[in-house]
Chains A and B, each alone.
Chain A
């Protein structure tokens, strides 16, 4: 690991002021916030991230880790730990998909460390990105090329890819955020703002090294989920290479407002298959106002992967992704939900 200066955040305002610096993207800035450290220290050890200064934001935990539920919805502080949110009774009851997405991620130890803010900013597991002995990786070193397109790409994305990068977004929780219309509150030295979660991540396009719309120094403070009829009838289905402690090969979030067997409204997001947290409007449109049965579910799954592009190693992914979504749709329709 390269040397860095270490300091602790005294308060929110001084933390964002101290972290504001010129850089081409937040994630490549020489000053980084240290939350759980489970992405940052991992990538610093393998020399993929090289910050010169860390601002430990754990001293802000008390004020930024609140979990509160009321009629307007659910608020989750960005420094809340994955485990605290996953096992919170209001979250389990009102937004089961959030609890499930968090419980199925990483391990018990990692979930005790990792924060929600760090979680949504976790970085791809593309093996070429994570191994600096590979020269070509546009995400790590802009303009150097992409080793994965012609290399081992079994775990890579089939949706949202570009000529410059096909790396999959690895996280689970972000799929719940994007499906459930969540918003993100952000503090920065130029003021605070609140944006839809769907505006946080950027498609790789020709700048895969710029992963989000955050500016250097901006700090995520909170996530807000609105109260919606589909929140309770929701689930997360995760398919992976081993039973536990593994990233998704394909996953699906479904949240459903069902009336007499007919889809009044629905939210669908897909994990493990796309370059960014991926909401499938096409799949939702195929189901809204329709009865939910196996053939309709199949049509929605076709629509979800209509634009899929594969690269050899991941040729199997559209089919697995479709089957995952169909299974999730049929399971969510069967759920018994108290009103």
Chain B
């Protein structure tokens, strides 16, 4: 008989050749997806590779750029440093889930109105982060916006226009739809 090791006790994941698989249900933009994933798969890779929701971008894959920002239970987080398995049962919102029948989210509209991008690669992450920044009440001054948006880098340096867009959207969001 094998000697006891805590490494060998049963776990949620099952060994399957060289990988360990987990069965899980992810709730993304109001829809449930049943998936079998390698335990190593991040939320970012699950969104992009499994669910074909490619709006969420991979910049650094190391928590340093913010391109992969999504909302989990309404809070902005980095999907590249989140295991898909660890957010089962939570409500995940990506850039694809922001607009509704009424049209674009005010933040999406504001980014267009203010030309708050150049190449656009950082933009989904910027918009997801900016929406949360407003709902957290941390977008009241230009300085606050710059500080609390510092987790989203823009290689094209659209920063001044991003600040302007957030100020416009803040007013629209506080007026009504959010």
A281 → chain B closest CB, angstroms: 33
Given B13, B18, B78, which contacts A110 in the complex, CB threshold below 8 Å?
B78
- Tell me whether A109 and B20 are in contact (CB under 8 A): no
> Hey, which chain B residues are within 8 Å of A18, CB to CB?
6, 9
Q: Which of B48-56, B81-89, B92-100, B168-176 contacts A (4 or more CB under 8 A)?
A: B81-89
- Tell me whether A4 and B40 are in contact (CB under 8 A): yes
Q: Is B114 an interface residue (CB 8 A)?
A: no
Question: Which A residues, 213 to 249, have Cβ-Cβ distances below 8 Å to chain B?
Answer: 243-245
- Tell me whether A245 and B39 are in contact (CB under 8 A): no
CA distance A30 to B8 in the complex (A): 12
- Tell me whether A108 and B133 are in contact (CB under 8 A): yes
1/0 per residue, CB under 8 A from A, across B35-71: the answer is 0001110100000000000000000011100100100
Q: Is A21 an interface residue (CB 8 A)?
A: yes
CA distance A52 to B146 in the complex (A): 40
> Hey, which chain B residues are within 8 Å of A107, CB to CB?
66, 150-152
Q: Is B11 an interface residue (CB 8 A)?
A: yes
> Hey, which chain B residues are within 8 Å of A4, CB to CB?
13, 20, 39-40
- Tell me whether A38 and B63 are in contact (CB under 8 A): yes
- Tell me whether A6 and B13 are in contact (CB under 8 A): yes
1/0 per residue, CB under 8 A from A, across B1-43: the answer is 0000111010111010011101000000000000000111010
CA distance A99 to B51 in the complex (A): 38
- Tell me whether A42 and B62 are in contact (CB under 8 A): yes
Binding site for A on B (CB under 8 A): 5-7, 9, 11-13, 15, 18-20, 22, 38-40, 42, 61-63, 66, 69, 75-78, 81-83, 85-86, 129, 132-133, 136, 138, 146-152
Binding site for B on A (CB under 8 A): 1, 3-8, 18-21, 30-31, 34, 36-38, 41-42, 45-46, 52-54, 56, 58, 83, 106-110, 112-113, 243-245
Nearest residue (CB) in A for B151 is A107
Given contacts A34-B83, A109-B77, contact A6 B12 (CB under 8 A): yes
CA distance A29 to B37 in the complex (A): 25
> Hey, which chain B residues are within 8 Å of A113, CB to CB?
77-78, 81-82
> Hey, which chain B residues are within 8 Å of A21, CB to CB?
5-7
Among B82, B83, B85, B132: residue with most chain A CB under 10 A: B83
- Tell me whether B13 and A19 are in contact (CB under 8 A): no
- Tell me whether B82 and A37 are in contact (CB under 8 A): yes
- Tell me whether B62 and A109 are in contact (CB under 8 A): no
Given A8, A38, A108, A244, which contacts B12 in the complex, CB threshold below 8 Å?
A8
Known: A42-B81, A54-B83. 15 other contacts (CB 8 A): A3-B18, A4-B13, A6-B85, A7-B13, A20-B6, A21-B7, A31-B7, A36-B81, A37-B81, A83-B75, A108-B150, A109-B151, A110-B81, A112-B77, A113-B81
